[in-house]
Amino acid sequence: MPEQMVDARPRPRRRPGTGWMAAARRPAHLRSAAPAADVVIDLRDAPSSSSTEPRDATPPPEIDPRFRQRRLDVQAARDRRRIRVLRVVTVLVLVVAAAYGVLRSPLLVVRKVRVNGAVQTRAAAIIAAAGLAHHPLMIDLRLGRAAGAVTRLPWIDRVRVRRSWPDTVLVDVTERVPVAVVGGMLVDASGRVLSVAPGFAPLLPVRPDIGTTAPAPPPPGATLPDAYRPGIAVVVALPAPLRADVDAVLVRPDGTVRLALADGASALLGDPSQLPEKFEAVLTLVDRVRLGHGTVDVSVPSAPVLTRLPATGTVSTRTGG
């Protein structure tokens, strides 16, 4: 069997009434003293342990009633102002919401479109280009965008789009003016192709000179190639007295221009510079000299050259302007 360890130290003798429980109930310095009489302590007047104020602290002085009333009046005024501001903001929000609802309602859609100034362009094409054919809301109209779309139509030069509440849109247009016929197409002064030229158009034709070629004109709405620009510039600047004697304006690839005159004569203008002086020189020769089938070279307007082709040969003369 295993050995058992035994505590051989002597144990103290325990006296009656002196157990560990009795020792725990009495403080150590009173264990040997005689029992004392019961002591009653009244804690109702004792200061609270959680209070940090001294026991003899004096109460705060009382506020003057007039100051207290003044504070109350100021606070009441602030409350009244806040209430007024809240009411105003609420009313504004309600008004804006109601106005937005009305503007977005079917009551304010585009029902009428009035087009003014259109002669060559159909009103239906203008309305469709402006995006008004499907009766959009008046508030959704983008006037600048609509005007830009209308100006892309071939004949339209300037556009103004306006609202007329509650349901009408006004479209005022200014159309372009044709000045020449190029390859069977009407063309304005800027070189924009407008439409196919009718057979009775009283306009001067601009075409490549004899023995030369030029690109065909583009469709309506596009711009002429640069090869035709000198001829258009000559047509625009041509004076009325000379226009009656011109049958066509001929352009060459190098940018020079020749006028095909009546009775088979012609006038070589050169590049489209100094046009007033060149036109004056041609008019002077047309009025003073019978050109026949001759050619007038006024590329240098101060020294025009007349070349005539008589039956016996070719004669060149210089005449003063």
Average of per-residue pLDDT across 220-233: 95
φ, ψ for residue 156, nearest 5 deg:
-85, 130
Q: What pLDDT does 12 receive?
A: 56
Q: What value does the mean pLDDT of the chain take?
A: 82
Whole-angstrom distance, CA of residue 297 vs CA of residue 307: 8
| pLDDT tens per residue, range 18-62 | 554 555 555 555 555 555 555 555 555 555 555 555 555 666 667
Phi, psi of 127 (to 5 degrees): -65, -40
Confidence class for position 319, pLDDT limits 50, 70, 90: very low
Q: In terms of Cα–Cα distance, which of 157, 182, 161 is closest to 250? A: 182
Query: Domain residues of the chain, as ranges?
Result: 65-103, 108-175, 178-318
Most confident among 3-17, 97-111, 218-232, 307-321 (mean pLDDT): 218-232
Confidence at residue 315, expressed as pLDDT on a 0 to 100 scale: 40
Full DSSP string of 156-176: EEEEEEEEETTTEEEEEEEE-
Look at residue 320 and tell me whether its pLDDT is greater than 50: no
pLDDT category at 128 given cuts 50, 70, 90 is: very high
pLDDT tens track for 140-199: 999 999 999 999 999 999 999 999 999 999 999 999 999 999 999 999 999 999 999 988
**Side-chain-facing half-sphere of 277: CA atoms under 13 Å:** 15
Read off the pTM: 0.66
Report which DSSP code applies to 62.
Answer: P
pLDDT score at 292: 76
Cα–Cα distances (Å) from 302 to 128, 137, 269, 294, in that order, read 55, 65, 12, 19
pLDDT digits (tens, 9 = 90+) for 235-267: 999 999 999 999 999 999 999 999 999 888 999
184's CB contacts (< 8 A; 6+ apart) are 196, 197, 217
CATH of domain 178-318: 3.40.50
pLDDT at 289 over 90: no
Per-residue pLDDT averaged across 100-115, rounded? 83
Q: Say if residue 9's pLDDT is above 70.
A: no
The whole-number average pLDDT for the span 112-132 is 95
**Which one has a higher pLDDT value, 254 or 309?**
254
Q: 213 or 3: whose pLDDT is higher?
A: 213
pLDDT at 231: 96
Instruction: Residue 117: count other Cβ atoms within 10 Å of its Cβ.
Output: 16
77 vs 149 pLDDT, higher one: 149
Q: What homologous superfamily does CATH list for 108-175?
A: membrane protein fhac (3.10.20.310)
CA separation for the pair 286, 295 (Å, rounded) = 11
Chain centre distance of CA 246: 48
**Mean pLDDT to the nearest integer, 83-95:** 89
